[in-house]
């Protein structure tokens, strides 16, 4: 991996919010997803700076310019009886890739996982993103389980579930 002279990783500060939100929009474009709307941008800013924050953000700088970010938070594993550091987003601008920024961001997340006493670090990767898959595998990461499928409830489906009345369990 070709490394740049000055890669730095640091926590998000209030003055970085517009840069962070811009990078989130860049990730959405890269993943062919709609970017956060104005209300979501406001929530992201509030949640990132809340006390305590709902998630944490690390910014990756290359030669004093922010070119990437990582968003993470803790979940919990009942089987390990330890927290898990969940990496929600990892993104580096295309022109800054292969210069050590992504590597530095992931390593800082790993250090934070160790500091927090986490038993593991997890994330998801889009199946078509060969560049990311190769990057993660080069770090020693492996796919979680081929026999597990990720599910999601959101939007209308989530709201509909909250409106359903519970039915008594069938007895035999």
Catalytic positions, written as ranges: 136
Say which DSSP state 92 is in. Answer: E
Asked whether the beta carbons of 9 and 104 are under 8 A apart, the reply is yes
Alpha carbon distance 50, 55 (integer Å)? 9
- Strand pairing class (65-77; 120-122): unpaired
Residue 72 has φ and ψ, to the nearest 5°, of: -145, 165
């Amino acid at each position: 991996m070709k490394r740049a002279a000055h890669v730095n990783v640091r926590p998000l500060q209030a003055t970085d919010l517009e840069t962070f939100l811009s990078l989130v929009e860049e990730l959405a474009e890269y993943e062919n997803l709609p970017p956060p709307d104005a209300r979501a941008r406001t929530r992201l800013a509030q949640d990132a700076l809340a006390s305590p924050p709902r998630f944490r953000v690390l910014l990756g700088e290359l030669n004093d310019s922010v070119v990437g970010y990582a968003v993470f938070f803790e979940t919990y594993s009942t089987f390990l009886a330890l927290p898990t550091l969940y990496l929600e987003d990892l993104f580096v601008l295309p022109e800054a890739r292969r210069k050590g920024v992504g590597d530095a961001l992931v390593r800082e997340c790993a250090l934070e996982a160790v500091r927090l006493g986490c038993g593991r670090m997890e994330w998801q990767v889009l199946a078509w993103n060969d560049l990311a898959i190769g990057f993660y595998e080069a770090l020693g990461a492996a796919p979680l389980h081929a026999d597990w499928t990720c599910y999601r409830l959101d939007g209308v489906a989530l709201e509909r579930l909250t409106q359903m009345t519970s039915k008594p369990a069938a007895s035999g």
